[in-house]
Amino acid sequence: MKSLLRAVALGAALLLSACASLGQDAAPAQSRLTVLVGIDGFRADYLDKGDSPTLDALAASGARGAMRPSFPTLTFPNHYTLITGKRPDRNGIVNNVMEDAQFPGVTFKMSNAQAVRDGRWWDQALPLWVSAETQGYKAGAMFWPGSEAEIAGVRPSRWMVFNQAMPSNDRVDTLLAWLDDPKGPELRLATLYFDVVDTQGHHYGPGSPEARAAVAEV
C-alpha cells in the first residue's frame, strides 16, 4: 500500500493546512484539491484480509459504504460512470470492446490507441475534468479512462498517454510533481489510476499470491 499511502499523506497534509487556518480565516478556495483514486479490480472482499492496511485504516477512521457497480462491471464503463455520474447506457461507454455504425471498420478497445483518443466515443457524457476546466479550474488526469481524448473540445491541463508498464510509485510521483511544479497550473481536481490489482487478478486469480502482492503494492 505504499503508493496509496503517499497519496493519502498528501491529502492529510492538505487537510492539516486547511485546518490550521480555521481559527483565523477559512482556507482560500484555490488551495483546495480533490484527488479521485481508482484501483481497478479491487474487490470489496480484499479489504480486512491484512493485505491493505492503509485502506483498512481509512475505512475504520473515515467512511465506508456498500455500493452497486454499474453493469457491465468492466474497466472502461465503470470508470467512466464514476467520473461522469452517468451509467454506461447514458454515457456511451458500454464495454471495453465495442463497435458503432457511426465509425465503420473501427473497433473501440484498450489496445486501439487511436480509437481510445477519439473524443467522439466519449462525448455522450462530460467527465469531471471537463466540467472543472470549463469553469476555470485546472484538472490533472494521471491515467483515467477517457483522459487521453479531447472531449467537447477540452482536455485536462495535465494528462499522460496511458502506459501500463509505469509502476504505481511512478504514477504517484508524477502526480506529486504536477502539484509541486511552481510553473505549472494549480490543480483543483486530479485523478490517479492503478491497474496492477486488476492485471494480476486476471492473470493469476483473485486469491493468488500475485494478486495479494498487487493489493499490498498500491
Active site residues: 75
Instruction: Dig out the grid coordinates for 93 from the structure.
Output: 461507454
Positive or negative: CA dihedral 117, 3, 195, 61:
negative
DSSP letter at 154 equals B
User: What is the rounded CA–CA span in Å between residue 47 and residue 88?
Assistant: 26
Kindly state the helix (H) or strand (E) to which residue 212 belongs, with its residue range.
helix 209-217
Cell of 88: 454506461
For residues 131 and 186, give the distance between their C-alpha atoms in angstroms, rounded to a whole number: 16
The rounded distance, in Å, linking the Cα atoms of 38 and 145 is 10
**How is 63-108 classified by DSSP, letter by letter?**
--------SS--HHHHHHHHHHSS-HHHHS---SSEE-TTSTT-EE
Residue found under cell 509502476: 167
